[in-house]
Amino acid sequence: MNHPTRKHTALPKARILIEALPWLVRHNGKTVVIKFGGNAMIDEDLKAAFAQDVVFLHHAGLKPVVVHGGGPQISAALDKHGIVSEFKAGLRVTTEDAMDVVRMVLAGQVQRELVNLLNEHGPLAVGLTGEDAHTITATKHQPEIDGELVDIGRVGEITEIDTGAIEALLADGRIPVVSSIARSQDDGHVYNVNADTAAAALAAALGAETLMVLTDVEGLYEDWPNSDEVISRLTASQLEKLLPDLSSGMVPKMEGCLYAVRHGVNTARVIDGRVPHSILLEIFTDEGIGTMVVPDEHVVPDEQEGDAV
């Protein structure tokens, strides 16, 4: 017979579950766009933990949408094809030949791998690219470098998002996994779009609660590469002032975060994808682990439990 003073060894687990209750209530039914960067996909265990987290969110009542990158994977494949990778303004110079490889790697390799990992937990994930059902439409992007417009090939600037296919999948209880390739509004071809930019545009168009960008650093470093002091929280205006000083991969990431919070997304976060289960830590605890960008008018509830988003 159970004695009332008997030690219940599972009690700490119940406490952990109940601690997550405010977050579960807050996020119920909310869309969360999660960008999984190519640099964060560093090993099999991390990718499996990522898939577990996303499936957990799904079963916890959220609507996760995954947008994936694959920069290092594309560079490796281009290398095999004897094509040298060159970046300008943080974007890959994409020739017609390179575009074929980009599409093959993102849609045929990285996306398939993530879809399969998610589907180990049930018939959940469906992969698509921005080409499908006009999800992402783009025109040629020509960045301005030193006052001049530069031709970087088939790199797209997003002109339109059609959320129909993604919303239909969410309504059907699926997890959309989107590759950052856009249909062209100018010709019959496709464009290479930076995955951070694509994730931000989708988060805004979907009216997502949160944009979460997983990468290979702890967050936005205040004085990179001289110090590893992470900026834990900043407003849109504060971020806007920092943008001109940012470099390389952080540029599209932080521009994306700014775009998202200026277009209705409540929070945009850059978090360390090398930390196993970083998504769960960020969503269900008050120990935010990366950099959080909030709209200017965002009022901080008092720093109490349940205040992470």
Ligand X SMILES: CC(=O)N[C@@H](CCC(=O)OP(=O)(O)O)C(=O)O
Binding residues: 70-71, 92, 192
Q: Which is nearer to ligand ADP, 51 or 169 (CB)?
A: 51
Could you give the C-alpha distances from 281 to 59, 69, 288, in angstroms and in order?
Answer: 16, 22, 7
DSSP line for 249-308 = THHHHHHHHHHHHHTT-SEEEEEETTSTTHHHHHHHSS---SEEEE-TTPPPPPS-TT--
Note whether 74 binds ligand X by CB under 6 A. Answer: yes
- The Cα–Cα gap between 55 and 282 comes to 15
Compute the least distance from the CB of residue 250 to ligand X, in Å.
11
The closest of 39, 215, 47 to 118, measured between CA atoms, is 47
Residues 46-85 that bind ligand ADP (CB under 6 A): 69, 71
Residue pair 56/280 in contact by the 8 Å Cβ criterion: yes
Q: Which does 102 bind (CB under 5 to 8 A by kind): ligand X, ligand ADP, none?
A: ligand X
Burial of 172 (0-12, 13-18, 19+ CB in 10 A): exposed
Q: Look at the block and give the residue holding tokens 């699926």.
A: 174
Count CB atoms within 10 A of the CB of residue 229: 13
Compute the least distance from the CB of residue 40 to ligand ADP, in Å.
5
Degrees (nearest 5) of the Cα angle 109, 113, 117? 175
| Per-residue mark of binding to ligand X, 242-281 (x: CB under 6 A) | ----------------------------------------
Residue pair 179/107 in contact by the 8 Å Cβ criterion: yes
Note whether 102 binds ligand X by CB under 6 A. Answer: yes
Q: Which does 130 bind (CB under 5 to 8 A by kind): ligand ADP, ligand X, none?
A: none
Q: Which is nearer to ligand ADP, 54 or 124 (CB)?
A: 54
Binding residues for substrate, as ranges, are 70-71, 92, 192
- The Cα–Cα gap between 254 and 34 comes to 14
Q: Which is nearer to ligand ADP, 210 or 215 (CB)?
A: 215
Residues 187-206 that bind ligand X (CB under 6 A): 192-196
Q: Which does 92 bind (CB under 5 to 8 A by kind): ligand ADP, ligand X, none?
A: ligand X
Note whether 70 binds ligand X by CB under 6 A. Answer: yes
Which tokens belong to 139?
Answer: 């025109």
- How many chain residues touch ligand X (CB under 6 A)? 17
Footprint on this chain of ligand ADP (rule: CB under 6 A) = 37-40, 69, 71, 196, 215-217, 220-221, 224, 246-250
In the complex, the residues that contact ligand X under the rule CB under 6 A are 37-39, 69-71, 74, 91-92, 102, 155, 180, 192-196
